[in-house]
Amino acid sequence: MDSIPLWVAMLAALGAVALVLLTCRILHLNRRLALLTSAIESHSELTLRMQLRDANIPIVWWDKTVEPWPDEGKRHRNRSELTHVVLGVPERLRWGTTMRRYQGLLAIGLLGTAAAAVWLFGLAPGVFELAAAWKREILFAALVLFGLLSFYALVQCFRKRLELERLRPAVPPERPSEGR
């Protein structure tokens, strides 16, 4: 069996290095673009908030994962009074975003706990020999750590669920729309 020529291996290695460098450059540019976009958004939001504070108009922060956006008579040719302004809560702070994160942690914790328990206690045929090859202390530590992770995630899910019930009554009542 013939081996790969040296120049082909060098060319493949050079291509892999070029792809890694290109990927790093693209990630760097994407981070800079995200930073610029968030800076522009935060500046616009800050300017709006300062103008509203000067005009003494209240701001209502709205989390669309708790309640849908308020409609408040947004129809063609309806007159509008500026009684308050509704701003969206940033994505990273929304109830639904953080709840999905905790639910993912809970799933990982439960799966890891189950896998460590199966390996540790040899509940599957043929697994006991594999578990004996591993150190039982490492498997027990994995069981405990995944159990703690799932307990933490479960507590956070319950906390977020209670927070949702606390947030729902704070929704401003809808006003009847004014026709023209």
Judge if 47 and 115 occupy the same domain.
Answer: no
* Range of the structural domain that residue 126 is part of: 57-180
Of 56, 79, 100, the domain-final residue: 56
79 CB contacts (<8 Å, ≥6 apart)?
178, 180
Judge if 50 and 61 occupy the same domain.
Answer: no
| Other CB atoms within 10 Å distance of the CB of residue 97 | 14
Q: What is the pLDDT along the chain (180 residues), one digit of tens a residue?
A: 467 788 888 888 899 999 999 999 999 998 888 888 877 877 888 888 888 888 888 888 887 777 777 766 677 777 777 778 887 777 767 777 778 888 888 888 888 888 777 777 766 655 556 555 556 677 778 888 888 888 888 888 888 888 777 766 655 555 444 544
Give the pLDDT confidence of 74-94 residue by residue, as tens digits: 777 777 777 788 877 777 677
Q: Closest Cα to residue 59, out of 80, 39, 89?
A: 89
Judge if 177 and 125 occupy the same domain.
Answer: yes
Judge if 75 and 49 occupy the same domain.
Answer: no
The predicted pLDDT at position 168 comes to: 65
Judge if 110 and 39 occupy the same domain.
Answer: no
Judge if 69 and 94 occupy the same domain.
Answer: yes
Judge if 90 and 127 occupy the same domain.
Answer: yes
**How much of the chain exceeds pLDDT 70, in percent?**
79
Rg of the chain (C-alpha set): 27
